[in-house]
Structure 1
Amino acid sequence: MLLCYSANHRTTGFDELGRLERGADGVIARLADCDLIAGSVVLSTCNRFEAYLEVPDGTSAQAREATLAAIGASADMPVDEVHGAGALLVGDAVVEHVFAVASGLESIVVGEGEIAGQVRRALESARSRGTVTRELERVFQRASRASRGVQSRTALSQAGRSVVRLALDLAEGRITDWAQTRVLLVGTGRYAGASLAALRARGVRTVQVFSRTGRAAGFAASHGIAAATDLESAVADSDLIVACSVAPQVILDAATVASARRRPAALPRRLIIDLGLPRNVDPSVAQLPDVELLDLETIGAHAEVPELAETAQARALVDEAVADYRRASAEDAVTPALVALRRHVFDVLDGEIAWARRRGDSSPQTEAALRHLAGVLLHTPSVRARELAAQGRADDFGDAISALFGLSARSCPVTDIHRAVS
């Protein structure tokens, strides 16, 4: 059974999301060590924290409690707070959710392009840790396929904008001349390259970068910009600051900005964009004179919804992909019983042919005819099995072959599943 804990920009505040993201590594480790959880994939981005799980049937209640406890312990949050910050999804709802997430339909900016890569990397990380089950692998693979379908068959990705681009769109009204704007990038992580590319696309020429971990020089050299070694001096020399670090604590506080403003050659006004999660910038900087702050909460509140027709078409494609997944899963559910029936019929046939050979009554033509007849006789049960599976009645087929032939799907070896044919 599939479970998902999802906390995102719609269910909780960015402060809580920041705490969850800081605890992501601990959550991953605790889930891997939990006997109630067969597999896990953890997705942690700037506006969501999600744990996708596969658990044994009949243990979902215990697994949910264990998951909330693991998240709470790692994020230093009470279990009740963890529960209130997110939603718990079960079964088909998990599939629908991850398909929509991968396709950009659950993002702050509907249709944004980064999420597909983030979903893919979450799966790759889980693979490297050995926590991916066959079912989680299939769900995430099909979610990525659905995302590609939405991208290729709709204009949603053109209408959808990344958080970086949206932030700069919101900044547009505050910037007189992008070419004259002096920019400071704080951080060299996940959004730094995208932020720099978006700034240059708008005509920005003067950019410096600061990193608390000493990586500014390398980033600056590879991107043709200047490296700043003193944060306060760099703030004083900039009228636009884009903070995009993955630091677990605030980097730019009100005291630093206030001190920078008092420097003799400091620029008079500055706009600060905080893309960090957790926050890179202390919200109190917005109280300083001539300082404006755009953080993720502000950006999310101003996110525009793309053309409704494109969104509707994308959701229809996602719904279609979910239906395809369900059909495939239904066939998987009935396959062991179908394989058991086919094995029984062909084992009986092989026994009869062997007996006939010993008597000298068999010929290649007769054997071929008998095998063809067996295939014809099995065709209708095979079709009916898939029909029942599509109706959610796979167990009915298993019960039927058990009553008629005394067969059990559980007795069918996993290695024989591939022998099922239509």
Structure 2
Amino acid sequence: MLLCVTASHKTASFDLLERLSRHPETVAPTLVEAGAEGAVVLSTCNRFEAYVETDDLDTGAVLEVVAQATGIPSADLDGSYRVVEDRRVAEHLFAVASGLESVVSGEGEIAGQVRRALTGARKDGTTSPALERLFQRASQAQRKVKNVTALQRAGRSLVRLSLELADSRIADWAAERVLLVGTGSYAAVTLATLRERGAVDISVFSPSGRAELFAKKHGIRAVSASEYAATAQRSSLLITCTSVSEPVLGPEQLQRPERTASAGCPAGSAGGSQLVIDLGMPRNVDPAVAQLEGVALLDLETIRLHAPIEELQATDAARAVVREAAEDFHAAGSRAAVTPAVVALRTHIFELLEAEIDRARRRGDEDGMVEQAMRHLAGVLLHTPTTRAHELAADGRGDEFVTALETLYGLIPESGAGEAAVSDIAASDVA
């Protein structure tokens, strides 16, 4: 059974999502240790989701493990999550990967985060065949949504939306002194978006010490730890986007003798004020900076409130693609579930066929007419039960076919029988 425990901006507070995102790497291994066949955790700035394959753990047990691994009491989680089960899991993940469940519908960053969640599970040894197939199909669904709908053109990334919100405070982007805090994938997207808007005076600081490498690659100035506070005070726009678990920007970095506009104050922003944009999850900026005179803080919670209503036509088209992809996923899974039984039936019938053909040859079937007729009959006889097996599996009743096979023929399917044999059946049906 597949299930997903999901807490997102739609169900949980920003503070709870921040707490859940502090140590997501502990959740999947703890779930597997507790008895799950596999687990993949997707943790982003606006959601925390645990995808689990299990026959032994019920929903309550999974939630207890999540609470244990994150250190968050179960009572704090009550009312802040949804549980998605069985056939609905695929459609949910495909919608998430396509950006349909994001703060900004159609945002592109989530697709890479879904892929990295699977990569992390592989590295930790917590994935399973069913979860592998689920997440691989999610990436395929996302690409199809991108290629055949206008969703991503209608939607905007969090980075782009945050800078659009900053437009009302910035008269001339070229005059801004920008300090970028962080050197990951979000930082690269942020830098590119800043340059699109005309920003040229951009520096970068990295809490992990990677500023020099990032700066050299992108042609901007690196800021050392000793320069950080002074540079922060001189900057008119500060954007943080790191994955560290504690704030990297607070009053201690921004505090200076006078917070009023003067000749020495930052240029660019109206009135010499500073704008701080916090794209981090957990938050990178101490909320206390908003209390400093002349400092405005724009964080994810505020950005979320300004997410636009997307074009319904693009969203509806994307939803249709996602539903179709989920149906295809289940159809393929259903076919695979009865494959061993179908292969067992095929093997049994063709063993009988070969014995009868051998007997016919010994009796003088030199022109092969009897052999040809028997092979055609075998294909015809196999067609109906094969079709029926797939129909039953699609309805969740594949075990009925397996039971009938054992009752009628005494056959016990071997697990792991391949799909190739089933394809051979389809060909022989029309022979």
TM-score (norm. length: structure 2): 0.90
Residue of structure 2 in register with 1:305 after alignment: 309
1:252 equivalent among 249, 252, 268: 249
| Secondary structure, aligned partner of 1:49 | strand
Partner of 2:69: 74
Q: Secondary structure at the match of 1:30?
A: helix
Whole-Å separation in 2 of the counterparts to 1:277 and 1:160: 21
Residue 383 (structure 2) aligns with: 379
Structure 1 counterpart of 2:21? 21
Greater alpha carbon shift after TM alignment, 399-408 vs 88-97: 399-408
User: 2 CA distance for matches of 1:335 and 1:415?
Assistant: 7
Alignment match of 1:390 (pick from 389, 394, 414) = 394
1: CA distance between counterparts of 2:165 and 2:257? Answer: 25
Contact 1:111 1:157 in 2 (8 A): yes
Moved over 4 A (4+): 260-264, 354-357, 359-364
Query: Who is 1:414 aligned against?
Result: 416
Q: Secondary structure at the match of 2:239?
A: strand
Q: 2:132 aligns with which of 131, 134, 137?
A: 137
Cα distance in 2, alignment partners of residues 54 and 387 from structure 1: 24
How much does 1:377 deviate?
Answer: 1.4
Letter in 2 for 1:96: E
Q: Residue by residue, what CA displacement relative to the aligned partner does 1:326-347 show, whole Å, maximum 9, x if unpaired?
A: 2222222332332222222112
Residue 41 of structure 1 is matched in structure 2 by 40
Q: Is 2:83 aligned against 1:98?
A: no
Provide the rounded CA distance (Å) in 2 between the counterparts of 1:212 and 1:387: 57
Partners of 1:275 and 1:296 within 8 A in 2: yes
Cα deviations across residues 299-346 of structure 1 (Å, max 9, x unaligned)? 011011221111011101111111112222222233233222222211
Instruction: Specify the alignment match of 1:55 in structure 2.
Output: 54
2:89 is equivalent to residue 87 of structure 1: no
Q: Distance in 1 between matches of 2:418 and 2:161?
A: 53
Question: How many Å apart are 1:165 and its aligned residue?
Answer: 0.4
One-letter amino acid of the structure 1 residue matched with residue 207 of structure 2: R
Contact 1:31 1:70 in 2 (8 A): yes
1:234 maps to which of 231, 234, 259: 231
Q: 1:65 to 1:186 in 2, by over 3 A?
A: same
Superposition pairs of residues 342-361 of structure 1, within 5 angstroms:
342-356=346-360, 359-361=362-364
Shift of 1:389: 2.9
Tell me which residue corresponds to 1:272.
Answer: 276
Structure 1 position 364, deviation (Å): 6.9
Give the Å deviation of 1:260. 7.0
Change (3 A) 1:364 1:379: farther
Q: TM-score, normalised by structure 1?
A: 0.91
Contact 2:340 2:414 (C-alpha < 8 Å) held by counterparts: yes
How does 1:119-138 map onto structure 2 within 5 Å?
Answer: 119-138=114-133
The answer (yes or no) to whether the contact 2:40–2:50 under 8 Å persists in 1 is yes
Three-state SS of the structure 2 residue aligned to 1:414 is coil
Residue type at the aligned position of 1:143: A
Give the length in aligned residue pairs. 414
* 5+ residue gaps, structure 1: none
Which one is further off, 129-138 or 268-277?
A: 129-138
1:275 Cα shift? 0.3
Q: Is the contact made by 1:236 and 1:261 (CA closer than 8 Å) also made in structure 2?
A: no
User: Separation in 1 of the partners of 2:42 and 2:290?
Assistant: 31
Instruction: State the secondary structure of the residue aligned to 1:386.
Output: helix
Query: CA 1:363–1:67 in 2, change beyond 3 Å: closer, same or farther?
Result: farther
Deviation track 1:50-80 (CA, whole Å, cap 9, x = no partner) reads 1111112xx241xx34433332233221123
* Distance across 2 between alignment mates of 1:393 and 1:260: 74
Q: CA–CA distance in 2 between the matches of 1:135 and 1:378?
A: 29
Change (3 A) 1:274 1:407: same
- CA RMSD for the aligned pairs? 2.1
Aligned mates of 2:43, 2:318 — CA distance in 1: 23
2:297 is the counterpart of 1:314: no
2:429 corresponding residue in structure 1? none
Q: Structure 2 counterpart of 1:387, which letter?
A: E
Out of 142, 146, 155, which is 2:150 matched to? 155
Matched residue, 2:5: 5
Tell me: CA distance 1:234–1:364, structure 2 relative to 1, closer, same or farther (3 Å). Answer: farther
Aligned to 2:31: 31
- Letter of the 2:6 counterpart: S
SS of equivalent to 1:271: strand
